[in-house]
Amino acid sequence: MDYQQILSEIYREIQPYAKDGKVADYIPALAQVNPDCFGICITTTEGETFTLGQADTRFSIQSITKVFALSMCLSIMGSDLWKRIGKEPSGTAFNSLIQLEVEKGHPRNPFINAGAIVLADILLSHLPSPEEDYIAFIRSISGSRTVDYNRETAVSEREKSYINAAIANLLKYYGNLENDIENVLRFYFLQCSVEMSCTELSRAFLPFADHRSPFSFNGVDLTSSQVKRINAIMQTCGFYDEAGEFSYLVGLPGKSGVGGGIAAIHPRLYSVTVWSPRLNAKGNSIMGMKALELLTTRTQESIF
């Protein structure tokens, strides 16, 4: 498969969408990002890498970080994790208060904001040094020792996080947060502020694609079965209330972030990351989704 040629063809074909959508300007730090950036990287399980555009430019991974948090929590708690978080698609906005109240503080899945805030709470309770341990895991799985938080972004998110603060308070009210609300929110936004490039993210997601190989990174150990179940949750819940559309158009497990990034995997073949900051109304990258749709169409490779 000539992935490099396919990436070039995809880039030409998605140009009509280049000015559609807008950046996540409700987060002050993300409002400053150049909306016209674009990068993509494919890393195969055979060790090949194919890139195009600004694949080595770091960006705020935002909710893509929830896959890493879920991996750490599943490694720590095993199946007991699901006593605090569900595994079902949300069907509502990623920051819905109504759904959380109706379901009495039990988040629908780990990838909506309520679920990810519970993940942050779990890590605060179990990790000796949460901030250091979390970034050490990401550095290990990505193979990059310079990946780091952007604390300015984290602070800017916390300053405008009225809905997330309400979510945390509801979780606390229903007994699903163990730690101080402010500490949980601070750590949650710090996780979201991690900056990585498409190349680094693609390497970090490769272990989810190659579930036959041992998953062990900086003390985070998962079985092949657990990795496959994380992939299943990415497939059904990874794109907020647009997960069905992504499955229909692309056919790969993945996770998006409002920084404009999307990371996806084809089991036993490759991981792929694309970055384009302009988002649709659901919070997903417009050019990113189109690029991945064309990737699976042109290669005739999806999980279905």
Domains and CATH numbers, the chain: 3-299 (3.40.710.10)
Q: Is 231 annotated as a binding residue?
A: no
Q: Is 3 annotated as a binding residue?
A: no
What pLDDT, on the 0 to 100 scale, is given for residue 240?
Answer: 83
Residue 78 sits at φ, ψ, to 5 deg, of 60, -145
Confirm if 187 and 49 have CB atoms less than 8 A apart. no
Strand blocks (E) in the chain? 39-44, 49-53, 59-60, 195-196, 215-217, 220-222, 254-256, 261-266, 270-275
Helix 181-192, helix 151-159: angle, nearest 10: 130
Question: What CA–CA distance (Å, rounded) separates 122 from 120?
Answer: 5
Q: Is 157 annotated as a binding residue?
A: yes
Extract the tokens encoding 189.
């936004």
What pLDDT, on the 0 to 100 scale, is given for residue 304?
Answer: 84
**pLDDT single digits (tens) 182-237:** 999 999 999 999 999 999 999 999 999 998 899 999 999 999 999 999 999 999 99
This prediction has a pTM of: 0.96
Q: Is 280 annotated as a binding residue?
A: no
Which residues have C-beta within 8 Å of that of residue 249, sequence separation ≥ 6?
A: 289, 293
Q: Is 79 annotated as a binding residue?
A: no
Q: What DSSP assignment string belongs to 7-26?
A: HHHHHHHTGGGTT-SB--TT
Q: Is 169 annotated as a binding residue?
A: no
Confirm if 271 and 43 have CB atoms less than 8 A apart. yes
**pLDDT single digits (tens) 246-282:** 999 999 999 999 999 999 999 999 999 999 999 999 9
What pLDDT, on the 0 to 100 scale, is given for residue 161?
Answer: 86
Q: Is 240 annotated as a binding residue?
A: yes
**207: which DSSP letter?**
H
